[in-house]
Amino acid sequence: MHNHSHGHSHHHHGSGSSASKRIGWAFFLNVMFTIIEFIGGWLTNSTAIMADAVHDLGDSLSIGTAWVLNKISDKEANSTFSYGFKRFSLLGALINGLVLTVGSIWILFEAIPRLAAPEMPQAEGMLLLSIFGIAVNGFAAYKLSDGDSLNERVLNWHLLEDVLGWVAVLIVSIVLMFKPWPILDPILSIGFTLFILFNVARNLKETIFLFLQATPDEAQVKEVRNLLLSKPEVSEIHHFHIWSLDGANSVMTVHLVLAGELSVAQIKNLKQQLQESLATFEFVHTTIELEFADEQCRDKGV
């Protein structure tokens, strides 16, 4: 006889609707500013600004994708997606990470040749656009900073990349007003792009690991394992798994082998203790199967 204890904790690290609203803000700000960038790049004859405009266009597309996927992730579970749609948000983080990685590499390919043949842009126009760019992208990044989902963190890197890019443009435009050193533009572009590429690659690695259902926090796994084995009624555990749906909401399953024969009242008491002990970990779903010592586990694996 198998006994199942299903603990359902529905605490969420920031509501999905709020995340969608924040991502929506970032999307509309990015689209509007991309249009302004194309116009400004053409008026100032700045290839750096035009390149950033193309990159921002890619940002807008990926942020829009993330927005749609984040809205999908808020839907209730059904018979097809029994765990709900949280992993759609993770899909958005994966797409955004890939787009930003490709975009950053493209910027490097554009900026490196300019080291040999830099062009002199209109510094005054660059200065005005850079101030506007820092304000718009900074505000969008601030709106997303309240979120803690992996999707929002990846999108934050989109916006922080743009802020750093415009800081570089601001510095270069000021210098160019006094010194004819257009080579500073590609140098700064390469610098901030490499910095962002490093951080996005780290987030992308985490996203891929979560997609492959890797353990999100090994320290947490050890803590939960020790907690379960600390119960005198439990002799051993197996089929112990913790994985994350979207980087913020985790699921835990485990088989507990009982140390001896327990009455119904004792089993109820154990389940109550487990529910209280596991509450601090805020799993969105837990499945605990109780097995008696002389019982053969029907599942294969570890």
Contact 85, 72 (CB under 8 A): yes
From 177, 176, 200, 202, select the one nearest 187 (Cα to Cα): 176
Give CA separation, 260 vs 154, 170, 232, 233, 255, in Å.
Answer: 49, 72, 10, 7, 15
CA 90 to chain centre: 7
Q: Is the pLDDT of residue 241 over 70?
A: yes
Q: pTM to 2 decimals?
A: 0.64
- Range list of β-strands (E), the chain: 3-7, 234-244, 250-258, 285-291
Neighbours of 8 (CB within 10 A): 10
Helix axes 264-278, 218-229, angle to 10 degrees: 150
Between 103 and 230, name the one with better pLDDT. Answer: 230
Between 106 and 279, name the one with better pLDDT. Answer: 279
Give residue-wise pLDDT tens across range 130-150: 898 888 888 877 777 766 666
Query: Which residue do the tokens 């439990």 mark?
Result: 234
Q: Is the pLDDT of residue 4 over 60?
A: no
Give residue-wise pLDDT tens across range 154-197: 777 777 877 877 887 888 888 888 888 878 777 777 776 787 78
DSSP codes joined into one string, 1-68: --EEEEE-----SS-HHHHHHHHHHHHHHHHHHHHHHHHHHHHHT-HHHHHHHHHHHHHHHHHHHHHH
Residue type, 259: A
Count Cβ atoms within 10 A of the Cβ of residue 30 and give its class: 0-12 exposed, 13-18 middle, 19 or more buried. buried
Residues 6+ apart with CB under 8 A from 229: 236, 237
Residue type, 222: K
